[in-house]
Amino acid sequence: MRSLLRLIAESFDPKSVPSVLGTMRDRTVREATGNSDPCAERKRISNQRALEIVPIAEKIISAERSASMRLRKACLYAIAGNVIEFDIPGHEFAFSDLNRLLQDGEKDLVIDDIAEAYGIVKDSSLIIYLTDNAGEIALDTLFVRELKRTGPKVVVAVKDKPVLNDATLDEARHVGMHEIADSLITTGTDTMGLSLEECSKDFLNYYDSADLVIAKGMAYAETITEIDLASPHLLLLRTKCSNVARYFGVEKNKNVAKLLYGFKKD
């Protein structure tokens, strides 16, 4: 508690980025407790439960006749999977809700840039896909597969070390992402969201070369909106807290597919 209070006293101000503070908080907790992965069991269960619904989702996606509709459906399911999050005040989640949330994916979508993003996907050679939580990464596999079928190479990046319930290489391999993505890498860091200063050179080489970056979850939204972007970024998330919902001008517990454009590379 002393360490956490000291962190808040030294680092908090009105312009602080929540996910950056969250990263510092979790590092403090892990150091103080000696527990390198406090959410290990939750992540295992999340993957297990999400994998149970993947065959159902895959069958529905496959039934769509056009490539654009298959990609759209897979994208909606990937967004719905972002509901798998713990310990957010006011956010209640049960695995029994997943089937309903998949069915309501279209209805809950309040910012819809999927069709616009599809146009970019078709013209892309390289997409980097930034994952968020364990569990939802099982549904991400379906979206990554559809992205690849559209043509581009897809590199999937997970966290280098455990942080909250974010997916690492272990969780990604558990759901078979290494068999679907063209490359499965880490960001080189355990930061929530994107901290380019802490990312590895290997990750940055992919990131700087990408024609499109797809980023899952609120932490990536919180950090990417603070960065001068050099390429289009598609933010996919469920608005699980009022602050993020307010930022996007939508209600809480809604789905967002927001396309951000950067400046053109030389």
pLDDT by residue (tens digit) across 126-151?
999 999 999 999 999 999 999 999 99
Residue with the bigger pLDDT between 246 and 98: it is 246
Q: State the Cα–Cα distance between residues 223 and 69, nearest whole angstrom.
A: 30
Q: What is the CATH number of the domain that holds 255?
A: 3.40.50.10880
Structure tokens at 238: 């469920």
Question: 227: buried, middle or exposed (CB in 10 Å: 19+, 13-18, 0-12)?
Answer: middle
- Does residue 89 lie within any of the structural domains? yes
- Does residue 197 lie within any of the structural domains? yes
Domain encompassing residue 174 = 40-260
- Does residue 28 lie within any of the structural domains? no
Residue identified by tokens 């996007």 is 248
Residue identified by tokens 């590199």 is 155
CA distances 90 to 97, 140, 174, 240, 252, Å, are 16, 25, 30, 8, 10
- Does residue 105 lie within any of the structural domains? yes
- Does residue 71 lie within any of the structural domains? yes
What are the pLDDT digits (tens) for 36-83?
Answer: 898 999 999 999 999 999 999 999 999 999 999 999 999 999 999 999
Say which DSSP state 175 is in: T
Is this structure's pTM higher than 0.85? yes
- Does residue 90 lie within any of the structural domains? yes
If one counts the domains in the chain, the total is 1
- Does residue 61 lie within any of the structural domains? yes
- Does residue 22 lie within any of the structural domains? no
pLDDT in the model for residue 77: 97
Please say whether the beta carbons of 254 and 237 come within 8 A.
no
What are the pLDDT digits (tens) for 180-237?
Answer: 999 999 999 999 999 999 999 999 999 999 999 999 999 999 999 999 999 999 999 9
E strand intervals along 103-159: 109-112, 126-130, 153-158
